[in-house]
Each structure stands twice: as structure tokens, then as C-alpha cells.
């Protein structure tokens, strides 16, 4: 089975040793009142940490896989030992997605995207408001646990779209490039918003880090056309080694 290579952002390999939980890029209380400190403390320190721990446990008997990034493990299920495939994939996905998620929010977040990303959102969704409506509707409709994403197609002129993935799936598995994601597992909102996922989705826009999302969009532009090989995942994110 062919290997999926990863271009930019996150290398396929990492130094040997255990996967580590990265520090949050802000204080636990930084996203208050929209995302409360206790939720963030548990979400990062318990939920994300458990994916990292479980991934290390699943990889314990496979030293050659310990030098692979979590993103590589997620994108290359055919290279994983069959009996451990499901455990490695779901925990690698949980690790990758949460790293991406923390970087998508900021204490100074909110507002609307400007520049080329703002223009592309208007072009492909009609308006920023219509985009948010699509995103929230998809997130609210997703049954059970999963993620909702703003993605960019590799073909069709790089058209933007909204998709959901169950569990800890990632659009890169379907050849789409992720630009932004929101976590709609109950652990992301239940303490503050209880069962009201739609309210959480609405509040979350107040913390979205648009300059970072715009940077990803432009980074994708910059790398477009360099390869049309479907076996190369285009990943315009800066965090490395997860």
C-alpha cells in the first residue's frame, strides 16, 4: 500500500520517544466567558491528555512507529499493525485534531475574516453569515461525537466547503485540506452549555482565531500547484511533531 506523504506544517517523522501533550497556547481562563476555564482545563488536561497516553500505550510494542508523527499514523492506516489499527487511528486523530483545535482559538478571537480568505468565503458561501449558518447547522446535525470543519478542495479551483467527521476523523483522510475545526464532542461544551450544542456552536465564533485561519488559507495558496499527487496531503498548519 502506498504511503501518504505530508507536505508542509507537520513532518511525517519525529524524534523517537513518547508523544507529548503540547501546552495550551493560552491560559485556561483566556477564552472566558465563551469557553469556560473548567471545561478547557478538563478538555486539554484530561481528554486530550488521554489520547496522547493511549496512543503511547498502543505504540509501545512498535518502536519504528514511535518515530512517526500522529498525522502520518492517521493518514497511513495500511502501514499499521492490524490488531492495533483502530486504537492507533482514533487516538492519533484525537491528538492531531485537538492540537489543531487549540491553535484555532484565541483570547483576541472573533470578528470576521478579511483579505483573501474573507473574499473566498463570500465567493463560495454567499456571505460570512451564510457560511456560519452552514457550519453551525452541520455541527448541530452531526449525530454523536465528532468535528465540524471548514475545508478546501484540492481540485475544483480549491473551493471551500463545510464537512463533518465522526469520532476523531480528519478531512485529510478524504484528500480535503482543513482550515478550521470545531469540536462537537459533549466534553467540549457540556459543563457550561449542558445539552445545548447549538448555543455552544454560536458562542464559539467569539473565540475563533481568524488571522491564524487566514494564514493557513494563504499558505495553502502558496503551495497550490506544486503537486497534484493525491498521495501528498497538503497541510498548511504550523504546529509540528504531533
- Using only C-alpha atoms, the chain has a radius of gyration, in whole angstroms, of 17
Instruction: Kindly write out the interface string for residues 41-80 of this chain, putting x where it contacts Mn ion by CB under 5 A and - elsewhere.
Output: ----------------------------------------
CA-to-CA distance for 10 and 216, rounded, in angstroms? 13
124 binds Mn ion (CB under 5 A): no
103 binds Mn ion (CB under 5 A): no
**Minimal distance in Å, beta carbon 228 to Mn ion?**
33
Are 134 and 151 spatial neighbours (Cβ–Cβ below 8 Å)?
no
For Mn ion, which residue has the nearest CB? 183
Instruction: Report the 10 Å Cβ neighbour count for 195.
Output: 10
Q: Which of 230, 207, 220, 18 is nearest to 120 (CA)?
A: 220
**Minimal distance in Å, beta carbon 54 to Mn ion?**
14
Are 164 and 134 spatial neighbours (Cβ–Cβ below 8 Å)?
no
Q: Work out the widest C-alpha separation in the chain, in whole angstroms.
A: 51
How remote is the C-alpha of 75 from its chain's centroid? 13
185 binds Mn ion (CB under 5 A): yes
Residue nearer to Mn ion on the CB measure, 103 or 183: 183
Residue nearer to Mn ion on the CB measure, 102 or 185: 185
Residue nearer to Mn ion on the CB measure, 56 or 145: 145
**Minimal distance in Å, beta carbon 188 to Mn ion?**
5
Q: In degrees, to the nearest 5, what angle opens at C-alpha 146 toward C-alphas 141 and 147?
A: 85
Among 183, 204, 207, 220, binds Mn ion (CB under 5 A): 183
**Minimal distance in Å, beta carbon 200 to Mn ion?**
12
Residue nearer to Mn ion on the CB measure, 125 or 185: 185
* Interacting residues toward Mn ion by CB under 5 A: 183, 185
Amino acid at each position: 500500500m502506498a504511503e501518504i506523504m505530508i507536505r508542509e506544517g507537520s513532518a511525517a517523522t519525529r524524534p523517537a520517544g513518547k508523544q507529548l501533550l503540547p501546552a495550551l497556547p493560552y491560559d485556561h481562563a483566556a477564552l472566558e466567558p465563551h469557553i469556560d476555564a473548567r471545561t478547557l482545563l478538563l478538555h486539554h488536561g484530561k481528554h486530550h491528555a488521554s489520547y496522547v497516553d493511549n496512543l503511547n500505550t498502543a505504540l509501545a510494542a512498535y518502536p519504528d512507529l514511535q518515530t512517526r508523527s500522529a498525522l502520518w499514523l492517521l493518514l497511513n492506516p495500511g502501514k499499521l499493525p492490524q490488531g492495533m489499527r483502530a486504537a492507533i487511528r482514533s487516538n492519533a486523530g484525537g491528538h492531531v485534531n485537538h492540537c489543531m483545535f487549540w491553535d484555532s482559538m484565541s483570547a483576541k478571537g472573533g470578528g470576521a475574516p478579511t483579505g483573501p480568505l474573507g473574499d473566498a468565503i463570500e465567493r463560495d458561501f454567499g456571505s460570512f453569515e451564510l457560511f456560519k449558518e452552514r457550519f453551525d447547522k452541520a455541527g448541530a446535525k452531526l449525530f454523536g461525537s465528532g468535528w465540524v470543519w471548514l475545508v478546501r478542495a484540492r481540485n475544483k479551483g480549491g473551493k471551500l466547503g463545510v464537512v463533518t467527521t465522526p469520532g476523531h476523523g480528519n478531512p485529510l483522510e478524504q484528500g480535503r485540506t482543513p482550515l478550521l475545526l470545531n469540536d462537537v464532542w459533549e466534553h467540549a461544551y457540556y459543563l457550561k452549555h449542558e445539552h445545548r450544542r447549538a448555543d455552544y456552536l454560536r458562542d464559539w465564533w467569539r473565540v475563533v482565531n481568524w488571522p491564524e485561519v487566514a494564514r493557513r488559507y494563504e499558505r495553502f495558496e502558496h503551495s497550490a500547484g506544486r503537486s497534484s499527487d493525491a498521495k501528498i496531503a497538503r497541510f498548511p498548519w504550523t504546529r509540528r511533531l504531533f
